[in-house]
């Protein structure tokens, strides 16, 4: 797959990090290209990665096996209308990372049998620590699925969902999820300061604790409940805190927050559809 012809429409943050990840994993430089109307974005991408850049989308996508749509949702309709004739034959797989743009709306502009994959990545992809979920429409063949998986794996972990609608749940979990952890960190730092620590000390201890806990949860061979049990001695300090979280219904708060995010994702998709 390392010589698959991949074109990016939009040369912003997400495109740059995926391109960086692909090059680091050994993808051929000559097989990657990108288009962006904004000269500084093109120049920045060309100078940091060395890939070919174009000011016209159709020049970048001609002959590509995969076209990655990495533009903001607001410009997607214009981009698709402009590319529809170039993408008509041969049909590459279209991999969209734009939030809320449905497969049906892309196919309505590109032709009903266009192979479309929708992806919801998240911001840690910028550090190659992303968590992405993908959904393939019915015209996507196995080799195209593998290619999409290969591309997103260059910036982190990848999961497939069976129904497009599940991407709303993905948005509520991993798409918006980094902000939930930032909020939890803010709250823990504030509480540490309230308990008498200086802000720098509270901040470092909270962030490093989050990193350590996340790595333990991924690298340990025991489940989360057991990991928690092992640091919760009966009658001890952790148990006092966990009991307070449970009696304050932390799980209900998280469930309501994620349901609100999923509802909003569905509303936004309906508005843009």
Ligand X SMILES: NC(=O)c1ccc[n+]([C@@H]2O[C@H](COP(=O)([O-])OP(=O)(O)OC[C@H]3O[C@@H](n4cnc5c(N)ncnc54)[C@H](OP(=O)(O)O)[C@@H]3O)[C@@H](O)[C@H]2O)c1
In the list 38, 181, 182, 245, the residue contacting ligand X (rule: CB under 6 A) is 38
> Quick check: 10 binds ligand X (CB under 6 A)?
yes
Binding mask 131-170 for ligand X (x = CB under 6 A): ----------------------------------------
Q: Identify each DSSP E strand in the chain by its residue range.
A: 6-9, 32-35, 52-54, 66-69, 93-96, 116-120, 130-136, 156-160
Q: Show the site string, 218-237: x = touches ligand X by CB under 6 A, - = not.
A: --------------------
The whole-angstrom separation of Cα 54 and Cα 46 is 10
Tell me which residue of 67, 44, 72 sits closest to 57, measured CA to CA: 67
Per-residue interface string for the shown chain with ligand X, residues 84-103, x marking contact by CB under 6 A:
-------------xxx----
| Least distance CB 266 / ligand X (angstroms) | 16
Contact residue for ligand X among 6, 9, 64, 151 (CB under 6 A): 9
To ligand X, the closest distance from the beta carbon of 264 in angstroms equals 14
Phi-psi region of 128 (alpha: psi -120 to 50; beta: other; left: phi over 0): left
Shortest Cβ distance from residue 159 to ligand X (Å)?
15
CA distance 70 to 49: 17
The set of residues, in sequence order, having a beta carbon less than 8 Å from that of 21 and lying 6+ positions away, is 125, 128, 154, 155
Q: How much helix, strand and coil, in percent to the nearest 5, is found in the chain?
A: 60, 15, 30
Q: Which of 1, 12, 25, 128 binds ligand X (CB under 6 A)?
A: 12
Contacting residues toward ligand X, per CB under 6 A? 9-15, 35-38, 41, 57, 70-73, 75, 78-79, 97-99, 121-123, 175
């Amino acid at each position: 797959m390392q010589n698959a012809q991949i074109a990016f429409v939009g040369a912003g943050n997400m495109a740059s990090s995926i391109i960086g990840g692909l090059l680091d994993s050994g993808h051929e430089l000559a097989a990657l290209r990108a288009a962006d109307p904004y000269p500084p974005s093109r120049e920045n991408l060309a100078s940091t990665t060395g890939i070919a850049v174009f000011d016209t989308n159709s020049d970048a996508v001609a002959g590509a096996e995969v076209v990655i749509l990495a533009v903001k949702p607001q410009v997607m309709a214009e981009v698709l209308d402009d590319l529809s004739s170039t993408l008509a034959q041969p049909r590459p797989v279209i991999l969209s990372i734009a939030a809320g743009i449905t497969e049906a709306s892309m196919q309505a502009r590109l032709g009903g049998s266009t192979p479309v994959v929708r992806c919801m990545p998240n911001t840690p992809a910028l550090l190659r620590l992303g968590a992405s979920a993908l959904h393939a429409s019915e015209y996507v063949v196995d080799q195209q699925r593998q290619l999409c998986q290969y591309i997103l794996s260059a910036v982190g972990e990848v999961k497939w969902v069976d129904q497009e609608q599940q991407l709303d749940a993905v948005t509520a979990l991993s798409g918006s999820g980094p902000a939930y952890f930032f909020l939890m960190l803010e709250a823990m730092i504030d509480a540490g300061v309230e308990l008498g620590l200086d802000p720098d000390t509270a901040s470092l201890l909270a962030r490093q604790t989050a990193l350590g806990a996340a790595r333990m949860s991924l690298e340990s061979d025991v489940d989360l409940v057991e990991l928690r049990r092992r640091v919760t001695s009966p009658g001890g300090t952790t148990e006092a805190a966990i009991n307070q979280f449970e009696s304050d219904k932390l799980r209900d708060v998280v469930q309501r927050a994620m349901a609100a995010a999923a509802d909003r994702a569905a509303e936004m998709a309906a508005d843009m559809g």
